[in-house]
């Protein structure tokens, strides 16, 4: 049987996993470094 984590620990893990994903998504969609690939995707 798999031991269950308390609800508070699950919420903390959720936010810890969501933060780097949100940062990467923001960087890809808003920063100048990814402008050319983003424009290519928009054209397609």
Burial class of residue 38, CB neighbours in 10 A (0-12, 13-18, 19+):
middle
3-state secondary structure of 6: coil
Query: What is the Cα–Cα distance from 41 to 17, expressed in whole angstroms?
Result: 27
Residues above pLDDT 70, as percent of the chain:
98
Please provide residue 3's backbone torsions phi and psi, each rounded to the nearest 5 degrees: -70, 140
**Mean pLDDT confidence for 34-40:** 89
**Mean pLDDT confidence for 19-36:** 90
pLDDT by residue (tens digit) across 7-22?
A: 999 999 999 999 999 9
Domain definitions of the chain by residue range: 14-43
Residue 5: pLDDT above 70? yes
Q: What is the pTM of this model?
A: 0.61
Enumerate residues 6+ apart whose C-beta is below 8 A from 24. Answer: none
């Amino acid at each position: 049987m798999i031991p269950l984590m308390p609800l508070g620990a699950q919420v903390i893990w959720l936010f810890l996993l969501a933060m780097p994903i949100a940062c990467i998504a923001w960087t890809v969609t808003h920063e100048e470094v990814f402008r050319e690939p983003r424009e290519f995707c928009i054209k397609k």
